[in-house]
Amino acid sequence: MFTTKQTDAIWNALNGFHIELPSWGFANTGTRFGKFLQPAAAASIEEKFRDAGEVHRWTGVCPTIALHVLWDLPRGLADAAGVEELAAKNGVRAGSINPNVFQDQAYKHGSFGNPDPGIRQEALTHVLSSIEIAQRLGSRDLSLWFADGSNYPGTQNVRQRKKWFEDGLRAVHAGLAKGQRMLVEYKPFEPAFYHTDIADWGMALLFAQAAGPQAKVLVDTGHHYQAQNIEQIVAWLLDLNMLGGFHFNDRRYADDDLTIGSIDPYQVFRIFHEILHYEWETGKRADIAYMIDQSHNLKGKIEAMIQTVSTAMELYTKAALVDREKLARRQEKCELVDAEMCLKDAFSSDVRPVIREWSVSKGLPPDPLDAFRQSGYLERITAERSARNMASVTSYA
């Protein structure tokens, strides 16, 4: 049983919690080895908005959907015109805007780090037009991920590419309107396997600082080496006022896009704990965009997204249960076991009954996954989309 103070902490946490859905999480995607197609997958921005709207309908904490420019708005601004109507119809707004400077054939040797000035300019033009899209849609955040790097030692001038990146990112920053932000994401490898131009949080931090005050770092939880202490990175970025957002997912080996907390829920809890501890100590709300970056190939896409959101709500509220006064006292006296128990006690609490009460108080179902399954939505879209989605299925047996 929770005390009133603990129940209030859970309710307050939920009242302020939002997490953004990725449009690409509703589409058929796969691994580099192949795709297992799903009959109900979304194939257009209209269908992605509908599916995202469905996740928000049952969970109540996902009011925005991240858009990937090339995949969702291939004609750029011309496609942005219809998005407001989609938002109004489905109850979810456009969230972060993700430019795509990795898929065009031109980017074989990189985008902002490409030795060809014409290609660097092409990439910059695309990112600047993505800013216009964001402005048109009222989206605050531009989310930047670069696949740039090289595969063989000696084949690229690493220092020169760093300078080109600084120039490019400064030019992007100059295109931002007041109040907009650019988030710089890092990834240690893939698709480049020898060197990656923005390989870790330190590089992303330096680039963001070089770009300007509206640039922050984006932490994709999947983009770290196995033993890396992600919550320490989070704590440092918070301290520097440089943490802009997250792409949540989990991974066993590399960037696997597994469901949040499916492998290590304690890690996600520790990340949320660092953020809430910072907020408690400073009395300031950390301005962080919580986003999901998962694209499920095996699980049902909408179900996996609801499972993800529910898990995020649980881990966030567990972190809100940490007794911070007690923890601070115990840290000060180096009471190791007791300090650690402040985290363990919160982590092992079953917050689900209180989340259910909170949901019902908001007119939401107590069990979003069950409500989705009972709604018949999956059967309806399967009937609508199946023939189209499965038309290209190939079997090699």
Strands of the sheet with 215-220, listed across from one edge: 21-22, 64-68, 93-98, 141-144, 181-185, 215-220, 243-248, 289-292
- Stretch near Mn ion under the rule CB under 5 A, chosen from 126-134, 212-220, 256-264, 336-344: 212-220
Q: What is the DSSP letter of 27?
A: B
Amino acid identity of residue 287, one-letter, is D
Query: What does 98 bind: Mn ion, ligand PSV, none (CB cut-off 5 to 8 Å by kind)?
Result: ligand PSV
Largest Cα separation within the chain, whole Å, is: 66
Amino acid identity of residue 149, one-letter, is G
Contact 223, 257 (CB under 8 A): no
Based on the shown chain and the rule CB under 5 A, indicate whether residue 250 belongs to the binding site for Mn ion. no
Cβ proximity to ligand PSV: between 54 and 293 the closer is 293
Min. distance of Cβ 373 from ligand PSV in angstroms?
28
Contacts to Mn ion from residues 26-85, by CB under 5 A: none
Residues that bind ligand PSV (CB under 6 A): 24, 98, 145, 185, 187, 220, 247, 255, 293
Min. distance of Cβ 290 from ligand PSV in angstroms?
14
Cβ proximity to Mn ion: between 264 and 279 the closer is 264
- Stretch near Mn ion under the rule CB under 5 A, chosen from 33-41, 50-58, 214-222, 362-370: 214-222
Min. distance of Cβ 112 from ligand PSV in angstroms?
15
Query: What does 372 bind: ligand PSV, Mn ion, none (CB cut-off 5 to 8 Å by kind)?
Result: none
Query: What does 231 bind: Mn ion, ligand PSV, none (CB cut-off 5 to 8 Å by kind)?
Result: none
- The per-residue DSSP string of 69-128 comes to HHHH-TTTHHHHTTHHHHHHHHT-EEEEEE---SSSGGGGG-STT-S-HHHHHHHHHHHH
Question: Strand 289-292 and strand 215-220: pairing?
Answer: unpaired
Q: How far is CA 88 from CA 69, 84, 303, 323, in A?
A: 20, 6, 23, 41
Q: Using CB under 5 A as the criterion, what x/- string covers residues 277-316 for binding Mn ion?
A: ----------------x-----------------------
The rounded radius of gyration (Å) of the Cα atoms in the chain is 21
By CB under 5 A, name the binding residues for Mn ion. Answer: 220, 247, 293
